[in-house]
């Protein structure tokens, strides 16, 4: 019964996303989780444990959207272009990819694959959190605390170093001879440019999240998790192909993921987070559960 409910909701949500009624996000996952919890008692226990994690990630996501309004730092554009060119001998990888791959017979397939991978950023951390929750509270909370710390470190960087992505540099006239566009992204460029925070590029959490997921998966399941390594590689490629990130953004994101995996996830897993402490956090964030 539970499997049928999950499948039905997944079909409905994916249909609404495909119809541009919903955009894949933490809010969408939370909505589905709440609906399932109302309908099924087994899900309610999971939802109660999951609520603090979801609320912390949602609060980060909300703050991230306004990071550029909270800082007086100048937007970094020309220095990012210079660093990217210096790293690749004068070439801009995103420009090269778009010129080389956008007019091939496989381009429609690449478009679907890269868009799916790019948008998976919103769901894959939550999926892994659910899998770890089933294994035990220690690994689940170590992962959740590390992901939240990683997210807020990214937010702090956006405040201190607002960085423009490639499409933004093109949109504002900084790349007239080597334009990098969002023409193959599922969301129109006008919608993205009108978003609340278009200059949250450094570090790339689109690379940081799947890198952190891959590291945690390898630490948890060993060799069986080796295929998960393809996730950060595929998502990073998608961000370059679609024009969302510089390679240096992705390298910074991978560095953040490695740091918080080593300093937070491994630390909390090694010391097995106290269940009494977890319960206090749950009562504070969700006082009526």
Per-residue pLDDT of the chain (289 residues; tens, 9 = 90+): 444 544 455 555 555 554 454 455 555 555 555 555 555 566 666 666 666 666 666 666 666 655 555 555 578 899 999 999 999 999 999 999 999 999 999 999 999 999 989 988 777 887 888 788 878 778 888 998 999 899 889 888 988 888 889 998 998 889 999 999 989 988 777 777 665 566 778 899 999 999 999 999 999 999 999 999 999 999 999 999 999 999 999 999 999 999 999 999 999 888 765 444 555 555 554 554 4
d(CA 16, CA 34): 17
Tokens of 58: 């949602």
Q: Around Cβ 280, how many Cβ atoms within 10 Å?
A: 11
In the chain, what is the greatest distance between 2 CA atoms, to the nearest angstrom? 59
d(CA 240, CA 184): 12
d(CA 141, CA 132): 9
Terminal-to-terminal C-alpha distance of the chain: 25
d(CA 30, CA 28): 5
d(CA 65, CA 74): 17
Tokens of 135: 């294994």
In the chain, domain spans: 73-285
Q: What is the pTM of this model?
A: 0.80
Structural contact between residues 13 and 28, judged by C-beta atoms closer than 8 angstroms: yes
Q: What is the CATH number of domain 73-285?
A: 1.20.144
Three-class DSSP labels, the chain: CHHHHHHHHHHHHHHHHHCCCCCCCHHHHHHHHHHHHHHCHHHHHHHHHHHHHHHHHHHHHHHHHCHHHCCCCCCECHHHHHHHHHHCCCCCHHHHHHHHHCCCCCHHHHHHHHHHHHHHHHCHHHHHHHHHHHHCHHHHHHHHHHHHHHHHHHHHHHHHCCECCHHHHHHCCCCCCCCCCCCCCCCCHHHHHCCCCCCECCCCHHHHHHHHHHHHHHHHHHHHHHHHHHHHHHHHHHHHHHCCCCHHHHHHHHHHHHHHHHHHHHHHHHHCCCHHHHHHHHHHHCCCC
Which residues, in sequence order, are CB contacts of 206 under 8 Å at separation 6+? Answer: 118, 121, 235, 236, 238, 239, 244, 245, 250, 253
């Amino acid at each position: 019964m539970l499997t049928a409910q999950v499948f039905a909701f997944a079909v409905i949500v994916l249909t609404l996303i495909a119809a541009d009624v919903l955009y894949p996000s933490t809010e969408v996952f939370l909505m589905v989780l709440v609906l399932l919890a109302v309908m099924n008692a087994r899900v309610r226990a999971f939802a109660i444990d999951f609520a603090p994690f979801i609320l912390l990630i949602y609060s980060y996501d909300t703050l991230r959207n306004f990071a550029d309004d909270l800082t007086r730092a100048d937007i970094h554009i020309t220095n990012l272009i210079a660093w990217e060119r210096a790293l690749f001998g004068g070439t801009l990888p995103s420009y090269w990819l778009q010129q080389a791959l956008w007019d091939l017979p496989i381009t429609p397939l690449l478009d679907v694959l890269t868009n799916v991978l790019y948008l998976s950023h919103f769901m894959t951390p939550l999926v892994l959190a659910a899998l770890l929750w089933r294994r035990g509270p220690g690994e689940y909370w170590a992962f959740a605390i590390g992901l939240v710390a990683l997210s807020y470190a990214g937010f702090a960087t956006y405040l201190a170093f607002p960085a423009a992505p490639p499409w933004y540099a093109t949109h504002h006239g900084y790349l007239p001879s080597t334009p990098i566009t969002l023409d193959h992204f599922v969301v129109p460029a006008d919608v993205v440019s009108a978003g609340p925070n278009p200059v949250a590029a450094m570090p790339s959490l689109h690379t940081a999240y799947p890198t952190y997921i891959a590291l945690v998966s390898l630490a948890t399941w060993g060799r069986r998790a080796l295929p998960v390594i393809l996730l950060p590689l595929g998502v990073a490629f998608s961000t370059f192909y679609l024009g969302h990130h510089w390679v240096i953004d992705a390298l910074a994101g991978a560095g953040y993921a490695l740091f918080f995996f080593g300093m937070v996830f491994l630390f909390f897993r090694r010391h097995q987070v106290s269940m009494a402490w977890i319960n206090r956090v749950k009562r504070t964030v969700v006082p009526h559960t």
